[in-house]
Chain A
Amino acid sequence: MQHRPNLLEALRSVEYLKSEKRELSRHEYLLTPGVVENNIYFIEEGALRLFYVSRNAEHDIRFGYSGNIITSLGSFLTGKSSEYYIQAIRKTIVYQVPKTAFFHFVHSDLQSMKEYGELMEQLALQQLERELDLLTDSPSERYQRVLERSPQLFQEIPLKYIASYLRMTPETLSRLRNR
């Protein structure tokens, strides 16, 4: 008897979630503002950035790499246009899951609902950490916080995007890393 996959496994399953494998070229846009996000993605390989554009510059909000789930959550949950851009930093392979299949799966089983709840709790905790990041004045402290909680980030994502995420110039980040 086949066991029902957990949420993370199911995202890669055609049978359970109508999951479709997609390859993105370097710099390809998965999503832009003006478009409604009807999918949730599991990143198999590569890296993505989620950003917005204001004051003449791109501002990186969040990153995803191998093993992560990514979507423009506001748009995904509300059905309104995305506020964000999602772009491949290098060649990336994702599994794309349509919203209807996702929620059908989540709601069809108690265990899946529990896993969804845990996913949302994880996300809320991450957002609380992020809120503290943004309230931290010292660039050096902002850097330390992120370095400690996500050392892998520095292997996966080019420094210029991390600098934007940390709300500092690439030069400042370089200086902090060379100390």
Chain B
Amino acid sequence: MQLSIDEMFEELTELTQKAIQFGYALKRLEHYQLKYKPSSNVWNIYECLEHLNLYGDHYLPEIEQALKMSNPNSKNSNYQGSALGNYFVKIIRPVEGKIKKMKTATPMNPIAKELNKGTVDRFIDQQQKLLELLEKSRNHDLKNIKIKTTLSRFIALRLGDTLRFVVHHTERHLVQAGELLHKVGKNVELNMA
């Protein structure tokens, strides 16, 4: 499956810019709203963001380091994802109508942490960083630079696939948070504690 580099980066950049703006919008909400859980086994908005922050804690430094260690090459015109990379992107991106429940790996599970508005700031900062890294990556070797995944340090994905995965994974959880926000609005008489 071939993608034009321009189209690919245009989409990834747009999704990341939207993520940043969504972060700013969430800052205008009250703590009790971001904490709200429709039921005990469903993540609240803080948890959706913290889950993304945990992924960012792993991937952003890895990507930054990999870019530092390599030289730019502007040969990229089309991008071909690896089979594994395409698979990960396929299962992670939000698909209308289908609510895929996926088990979350324990280190990436945000439940039970003390979360607050700082979580939102952290999310915004990470997305700004990601935007920078996207810009830098455009001119690097998207195929041969490999990034260790969170699954195992022995499983590494192409830089191009990693960027697609990180952005679409973020998209998935922001859509989840976006949907949750509708329920928060309906329950205005929430416990303000």
Could you list which residues of chain A lie within 8 angstroms of chain B, going by C-beta atoms?
25-29, 32-35, 52-58, 80-83, 85, 87
Residues in B neighbouring A56, C-beta threshold 8 A: 94-99, 175-176, 179
B1 to chain A, nearest CB (A): 16
Q: B178: CB under 8 A from chain A?
A: yes
Q: How far is the CA of A25 from the CA of B25 in the complex (A)?
A: 13
Q: List B residues 84-101 near A (Cβ within 8 Å).
A: 94-99
> Chain A residues near B29 (CB, 8 Å)?
32, 34-35
Contact size range, B: 20 to 34
Q: Is B22 an interface residue (CB 8 A)?
A: yes
Could you list 25 A-B pairs, sorted by A, with CB under 8 Å?
A27-B20, A28-B24, A29-B21, A29-B25, A32-B28, A32-B29, A32-B181, A33-B182, A33-B184, A34-B33, A35-B185, A53-B175, A54-B182, A55-B97, A56-B94, A56-B95, A56-B179, A57-B94, A57-B96, A57-B97, A58-B175, A81-B185, A81-B186, A82-B185, A83-B185
Within the complex, the shortest CB–CB distance from B32 to chain A, in Å, comes to: 10
In the complex, chain B residues whose CB is within 8 Å of the CB of A83: 182, 185
Question: A53 to B175, alpha carbons, bound, how many Å?
Answer: 7
Q: Which 10 A-B pairs have the closest CB atoms?
A: A81-B185, A33-B185, A29-B25, A57-B96, A53-B178, A27-B21, A34-B185, A53-B179, A34-B184, A56-B94
| Interfacial chain A residues near B99, Cβ < 8 Å | 55-56
Contact of A29 among B24, B94, B98, B188 (CB under 8 A): B24
Q: A28 to B18, alpha carbons, bound, how many Å?
A: 8
**Distance in angstroms between the alpha carbons of A52 and B185 in the assembled complex:** 12
List B1-21 residues whose CB lies under 8 Å from chain A.
14, 17-18, 20-21
CA distance A179 to B57 in the complex (A): 48
Q: Which of A27, A35, A85 contacts B178 (CB 8 A)?
A: A85
Q: Would you give the shortest CB distance from A140 to chain B, in whole angstroms? A: 21
CA distance A53 to B29 in the complex (A): 17
Closest Cβ of chain A: how far from B73's Cβ, in Å?
Answer: 30
Given the contacts A52-B182, A56-B99, A27 and B175 also touching, CB distance less than 8 Å = no
In the bound complex, residues from chain B placing their C-beta under 8 Å from that of A55 are 96-97, 99
- Residue of A whose beta carbon sits closest to that of B20: A27
Nearest Cβ in chain A — how far from B24, in angstroms? Answer: 7
Expressed in whole angstroms, the Cα–Cα distance for A121 and B179 within the complex equals: 32
Cα A80 to Cα B182 with chains together (Å): 12
Q: Which of B14, B178, B185 makes the CB contact (< 8 A) with A58?
A: B178
Given A53-B179, A55-B97, 7 more pairs with CB closer than 8 A: A26-B17, A27-B20, A28-B24, A29-B24, A32-B25, A53-B181, A54-B182
What is the CA–CA distance of A106 and B21 in the complex, to the nearest angstrom?
Answer: 34
List B contacts of A26 (CB < 8 A): 17
Cα separation A55 to B99 with both chains bound (whole Å): 7
- Bound state CA distance, A29 and B24, in angstroms? 8
Cα of A52 to Cα of B82 in the assembled complex, Å: 34
